[in-house]
Chain A
Amino acid sequence: MDFDALLLSRLQFAFTLAFHIIFPAFTIGLASFLAVLEALWLITKTDSFRRLYLFWVKIFAISFGMGVVSGVVMSYQFGTNWSVFSAVAAPVIGPLLAFEVLTAFFLEASFLGVMLFGWRKVGPGLHFAATVLVALGTLTSAFWIISANSWMQVPTGYVRLPDGSLRATDWVQVIFSPTFPYRLAHMVLAAYLSTALVVGAASAWRLLRDAGEAESNIALRMAIGMFAIVAPLQLVAGDLSGKQVFRLQPAKLAAIEAFWVSRAEQPLHLVAWPDRAQETNHLAVEIPKLGSWVTAGHASAYVRGLKSFPPADRPPVFIVFWAFRIMVGLGVAMIALGLWGAWLAWRSAPERNRAFLRACVVMGPFGFVAVIAGWVVAEVGRQPYTIYGVLRTEQSVSPLRAGEVSLSLLAFIVTYAIIFSVGALYILRLIAEGPSPSPHEDTEPPRRGRPPGYALGAAPDQPEPAP
């Protein structure tokens, strides 16, 4: 095995996954948001909801496309870079990934066409059904992928045969492994929260320019509602998820909290500089006993430290410790934003409080930062294993050479940098245009062969030189 190929494959997987997860997180939330908007429009017949739908569906289309293409990469990368893992894990989690394709991807991809291009091809009821099916598809996809990942975190419902291969013995236990329900809730709430932050930021940005824009006022209040309800719920879901880590993945828990020594009354490290070589923390700011309390539920609880695991079985502490603090810190900021917004919405007009609007704009991208930080905790915290306690990462990798993998990693970095910057630019441009109907949208006869009712009919029509 080529050590560099292993490291490069890990970097490539981490990079492509971190890039990819932004888009499912955003489209899970946005698809549900769009379904709600369309339902509200069909029920109330308020035109603002229709305009909001047509506005956000354009942003959805861009993000969904980016999610699809970066997702196709993931379905092949297990084989290209992690062929040994694939061969070992497939008897157990193969069906989970195949069911994701069969139950979710086809549903999303097929009805997306109707959602984006069928505005006048099908009746309002069918169009709404297409939106709902796309939203269900995104949630179903989350179900299967979190299920597969949770099994890799805490494998259950399988046996190991004498030749070392795995066999599933109980599919219910495979799909519903112990951490799965908590992690699914945590991820779906994270998706909703990240999306609400983007919707809130876009609306706030528009309201800073024109506090009277009706659509942005509606969207801002919907976003505030989501912060105020979902952010505290997320704290609960995250805590439940953490209790499972305490119970089932003690090494990961010790890394999250930078506990080195096993003891009762563990202190909580607010900040610290964990040092793997010296097996200690530098510059730690700690609160006595609180560490045991937040991880195990009572201050006198005995919690294992990293020294109780052989050095070869310890996850990288520094990354896990800090990724966790970034995630939790952002979560607390989201709760604060929700409380502030709810207070303003109750007592006065949030659209006139410029400090609050600016805070919303600043927080816009940080839901995704928290999502990525959370996945870093989950994935790096599981190291040195791909299947916890069963298969080590160093044994999982394909027989590749460093040359190929460094080239492909470089190509991914360049490709994703282009795609991401351009996609972000186009989304920001759409936000700058805003939800008000542009002069020719949805009313004009077909232009240049573009069908009418094409939901994206507002695209700029400029002469295109020959390629």
Chain B
Amino acid sequence: MNLDLPLVWAGIIAISVLMYVLLDGFDLGIGILFPFARTPAERDLMMDTVAPIWDGNETWLVLGGGGLFAAFPLAYAALLPALYVPILIMLMALIFRGVSFEFRLRGRRTGKRFWTGAFAHGSIIATLAQGFVLGGFIQGVTLRGGQFAGAPFDWFTSYSVIVALGLVAGYALLGATWLVWRTEGETHERARRFAWAAAGAVAVLLAAVSVATLAVHPQIAARWGLQDGRIDWSQLAPRLPIPALGGFGLALIAFALSRRTHVWPFFGAILVFASGYLGLAVGFFPYVVPYSLTFRDAANADNTLAFLLAGGVVLLPAIIGYSLWVYYVFRGKVGADAGFYH
């Protein structure tokens, strides 16, 4: 049997990036919502819901980097210098928010205030930076001889600003719906209001990003059957389920929030993210460096990909298995009054 190794690895990396966005998305979202918490106790509680699992979540980002290096080194070598500034800003912001999980507990008055701020600001800045990375990625990267040949701030455009704001709203939605699921009492009630607000912002910004993407990037618009002001239904129709999925996700969030269910809003938010992710993927597949390198151009040597896959088929299911177990250990409501410890 002949496996199409570059295609398999494109799928694995794509899933890893989505895993990262969903998982670190909700714990970054907690940080984005931090300024809106009412009391220090509420902030402690919000952090307690993610403290045991955030580190595993962020490891998907390391897999994104390490995996891209191993599977698509030419994409790694082209994209990272092109997005040098937002990536470095993201890394620094993640440093501050990452250490604040422990440092907040150790700080006295001033220290605790500083690290509370570092967690909030670090989360917000890291998310904005990821949005700029995404925006800069969709815009495409100037290459010469396989290496970046553009300017250091190519990624900063009005388009990428909209994408970055959209991502902040999206992570806030994931964080809010996570809190709806994992808290109770006053925090739970406030989380519902956060979720309504974030869902509204996501609906508006997702629409704005979609329109902007189609308007600014004719290559992507053509993929969606929109060219020269005409609509090609044979192109558009098979892709319509993707925005429909996003609409369904938003409806599920609204329905579940008004019916006061606890778990479903979070899964609605996941559907919204999946829709946005697929929508973009359809726009630039098979490029891994839009619009210069396809995943086949950027793929590592076949024997390297095969060796990687031999490890990956054993290790990835194991990772997913024990990650699920850890989530299971820390299941249920986190709160002062009941539930967290049975």
Residues of A whose CB lies within 8 Å of any CB of B are 61-62, 65-66, 68-73, 75-76, 78-81, 83-84, 86-87, 90-92, 94-95, 97-103, 105-107, 109-114, 116-118, 120-122, 165, 167-168, 171, 398-401, 403-404, 408, 411-412, 415, 419, 422-423, 426, 429-430, 446, 448-453, 456, 459-460, 462-467
Given contacts A98-B69, A102-B311, A467-B34, contact A403 B152 (CB under 8 A): yes
Kindly provide the distance from the CB of A53 to the nearest chain B CB, expressed in whole angstroms: 17
Give which listed residue, A68, A72, A167, A426, contacts B103 with CB less than 8 A: A426
20 residue pairs A–B, Cβ–Cβ below 8 Å: A76-B87, A76-B91, A79-B80, A83-B76, A83-B80, A86-B69, A86-B77, A87-B74, A94-B71, A112-B55, A168-B303, A404-B152, A411-B88, A426-B107, A426-B111, A446-B336, A449-B48, A464-B109, A466-B40, A467-B113
Taking a contact as CB atoms under 8 Å apart, the answer to whether B148 and A398 are in contact is yes
Q: How far is the CA of A167 from the CA of B66 in the complex (A)?
A: 19
A65-B101, A66-B99, A109-B55 known; A122-B70 Cβ under 8 A: no
B81 at the interface (CB under 8 A from A): yes
A426–B114 alpha-carbon span in the complex (Å): 14
Nearest chain B CB to A398 CB, angstrom units: 4
B162: Cβ under 8 A from any A Cβ: no
- Cα-based distance from A155 to B59 in the complex (angstroms): 29
A73 contacts B95, C-beta separation under 8 Å: yes
Segment with Cβ contacts to A, from B163-171, B255-263, B267-275, B322-330: B322-330
- Shortest CB–CB separation between residue B36 and chain A, in angstroms? 11
Alpha-carbon separation in the docked complex, A419 to B92 (Å): 11
Are A106 and B148 also in contact (CB < 8 A) when A65-B101, A80-B81, A464-B113 are? Answer: no
Flag the segment in B196-204, B235-243, B244-252, B312-320 that touches A.
B312-320
Given A61-B102, A399-B148, A408-B88, A463 and B73 touching (CB < 8 A)? no
B84 touches A97 (CB 8 A): no
**How many A-B pairs with Cβ below 8 Å?**
270
Given contacts A94-B308, A423-B99, contact A399 B147 (CB under 8 A): yes
Interface assignment of B266: CB less than 8 Å from any CB of chain A? no
Chain B interface category by residue count: 35 or more
Confirm or deny: B297 has a beta carbon within 8 angstroms of a beta carbon on chain A. no
Q: Are B77 and A79 interface neighbours, CB within 8 A?
A: yes
Q: Known contacts A65-B98, A114-B52, A451-B341: does B304 contact A94 (CB below 8 Å)?
A: yes
B92 contacts which of A92, A97, A411 (Cβ < 8 Å)?
A411
Q: How far is the CB of A5 from chain B (nearest CB, A)?
A: 10
Q: Is the CB of B66 within 8 A of A97?
A: yes
| Residue from A76, A105, A107, A426 with most neighbouring chain B CB atoms (10 Å) | A76
Asked if B330 and A113 make an inter-chain contact with CB atoms under 8 angstroms apart, the answer reads yes
Restricting to B43-67, which residues have a CB under 8 Å from any CB of A? 43-45, 48, 51-53, 55-56, 58-59, 61-63, 65-67
Which secondary structure dominates where chain A touches chain B?
helix
Q: Is the CB of A98 within 8 A of B43?
A: no
Decide if A83 touches B148 in the complex (CB within 8 Å). yes
In the complex, B300 has a CB within 8 A of chain A: yes
Contact indicator A79/B81 (Cβ below 8 Å): yes
In the complex, which residues of chain A have a beta carbon less than 8 angstroms from the beta carbon of B147? Answer: 83-84, 398-399
Q: Kindly list chain A residues whose C-beta atoms are within 8 Å of the C-beta of B45.
A: 449
Instruction: Report the separation of the CA atoms of residues A423 and B115 in the bound assembly, to the nearest whole angstrom.
Output: 12
Asked whether, in the complex, the Cβ of B106 is within 8 Å of the Cβ of A429, the reply is yes
Q: Contact between B146 and A87 (Cβ–Cβ < 8 Å)?
A: yes
A residues near B311, Cβ cutoff 8 Å: 95, 98-99, 102-103
Contact of A95 among B78, B109, B120, B304 (CB under 8 A): B304
- CB within 8 Å for A106 and B59 given contacts A86-B73, A398-B148, A451-B341: yes
Does B334 lie within 8 Å of A399, measured CB to CB? no
B96 interfacial by beta-carbon distance below 8 Å: yes
Q: Is B340 located at the chain interface by the 8 A CB criterion?
A: yes
Q: Give A207 Cβ to nearest chain B Cβ, in Å.
A: 24
